[in-house]
């Protein structure tokens, strides 16, 4: 089979620089012995560690849900192919840091208890870059163990060589998944949510989840207020939610005059903007 040569981004940038200075050197074409894969870079402005992290919680799922599949994007460096090509992923506990998010120790995910191992043939057969495509979605099948209500576990996955594909950019071949059955404070609560719904609190978070039926996690907030991708916020939409939540809170408190909605520390829940 004859492959079509392509130019990698870095080589193209270098070539354009050379051309701009009048250099007449020939453009180098991609010619690696194996094509490569890496975890797609979600935010080019963030560190590799931030891009590697993906947090998942079962808390917004119905109690009867015992498993769920999280998908993360895989990208190809190299050439299109006329056939499907398998890539390989392994659990890499050795990559776990000594501490994370203020915790001195990490509980590591266990196959068969917190997730389905990629040794499972029904799952490993899905790890392919399809013919003629440059991206794929890695399925991570997560299991709802009872201990997740009290403990957050960490799963480290690493891309390793397969028969046809090598790992690509070394900083983007590891994925760090946290798995729990607890509320997770959205990273983007600080902006824009806090400016409309006030300071974060777990009771407030659960209140709006139960009211709307939506998870109110990072992915939901970005999707719901899609102007975030261009640096803006849908002000009218956020104002709509603020008024809706205030009205629901007033109703709750009027129905519970001796026990208004409060956080665990006694702080009254409110939806006043915090600047």
Average pLDDT per block of 10 residues along the chain, 275 residues long: 39 40 41 87 89 91 93 94 95 76 74 94 92 96 96 94 94 95 89 88 94 88 64 74 95 96 95 88
Whether 39 and 167 share a structural domain: yes
Composition of the chain by helix, strand, coil, percent to 5: 30, 25, 45
pLDDT the model gives residue 195:
86
pLDDT the model gives residue 4:
42
CA 161/CA 91 separation, integer angstroms: 14
pLDDT the model gives residue 110:
95
Whether 87 and 49 share a structural domain: yes
| 65 falls within a domain | yes
Whether 86 and 14 share a structural domain: no
pLDDT the model gives residue 103:
57
pLDDT the model gives residue 261:
97
Whether 46 and 174 share a structural domain: yes
pLDDT the model gives residue 61:
87
Range of the domain at 104: 34-180
pLDDT the model gives residue 27:
37
Question: Closest Cα to residue 147, out of 116, 113, 115, 178?
Answer: 113
Residues 3 and 33: beta-carbon distance below 8 Å: no
Q: Mapping DSSP to helix (H, G, I), strand (E, B) and coil, where does residue 58 land?
A: coil
Task: Tell me how far the alpha carbon of residue 168 is from its chain's centroid.
Answer: 19
pLDDT the model gives residue 235:
75
pLDDT the model gives residue 12:
39
Whether 151 and 202 share a structural domain: no
Q: Is the dihedral of CA 213, 224, 247, 200 positive or negative?
A: positive
pLDDT the model gives residue 48:
92
pLDDT the model gives residue 10:
40
Which regions of 109-152 does DSSP assign to beta strands (E)? 128-129, 135-143
Structure letter (DSSP) for residue 123 = H
Count structural domains, the chain: 3
Helices and strands (DSSP H and E) totals, the chain: 7, 11
Angstrom distances, CA of residue 167 to CA of 76, 97, 134, 136, 139: 10, 21, 14, 14, 18
All residues at 6 or more sequence positions from 51 whose CB lies less than 8 Å from its CB, including other chains: 39, 41, 42, 43, 172
pLDDT the model gives residue 228:
43
Whether 159 and 88 share a structural domain: yes
Question: Closest Cα to residue 79, out of 165, 162, 151?
Answer: 165
Whether 154 and 102 share a structural domain: yes
CA 236/CA 196 separation, integer angstroms: 11
pLDDT the model gives residue 22:
40
Angstrom distances, CA of residue 41 to CA of 14, 47, 53, 74, 104: 21, 10, 11, 9, 28
CA 7/CA 146 separation, integer angstroms: 49
All residues at 6 or more sequence positions from 46 whose CB lies less than 8 Å from its CB, including other chains: none
CATH number for the domain spanning 49: value is: 2.60.40.2030
Structure letter (DSSP) for residue 192 = T
Whether 19 and 59 share a structural domain: no
Strands 135-143 and 174-180, by their bridges, are: unpaired
């Amino acid at each position: 089979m004859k492959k079509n040569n392509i130019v990698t981004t870095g080589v193209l940038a270098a070539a354009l620089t050379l051309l701009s200075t009048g250099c007449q050197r020939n453009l180098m074409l991609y010619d690696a012995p194996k094509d490569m894969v890496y975890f797609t870079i979600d935010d080019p402005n963030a560190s590799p560690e931030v891009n590697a992290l993906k947090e998942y919680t079962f808390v917004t799922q119905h109690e009867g849900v015992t498993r769920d599949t999280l998908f993360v994007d895989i990208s190809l460096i190299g050439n299109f192919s006329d056939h499907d090509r398998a890539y390989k992923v392994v659990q890499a506990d050795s990559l776990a840091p000594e501490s994370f998010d203020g915790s001195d120790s990490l509980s590591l995910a266990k196959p068969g208890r917190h997730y389905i191992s990629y040794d499972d043939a029904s799952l490993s057969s899905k790890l392919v870059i399809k013919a003629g495509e440059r991206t794929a979605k890695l399925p991570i099948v997560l299991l709802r163990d009872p201990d997740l209500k009290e403990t957050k576990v960490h799963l480290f996955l690493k891309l390793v060589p397969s028969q046809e594909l090598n790992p690509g950019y070394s900083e983007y071949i590891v994925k760090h998944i946290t798995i729990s059955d607890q509320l997770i404070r959205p990273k983007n609560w600080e902006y824009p949510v806090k400016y409309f719904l006030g300071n974060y609190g777990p009771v407030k978070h659960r209140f709006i989840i139960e009211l709307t039926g939506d998870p109110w996690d990072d992915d939901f907030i970005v999707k719901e207020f899609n102007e975030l991708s261009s640096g803006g916020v849908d002000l009218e939409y956020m104002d709509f939610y603020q008024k809706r939540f205030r009205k629901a809170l007033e109703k709750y408190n009027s129905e519970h005059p001796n026990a208004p909605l409060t956080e665990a520390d006694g702080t009254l829940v409110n939806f006043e903007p915090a600047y």
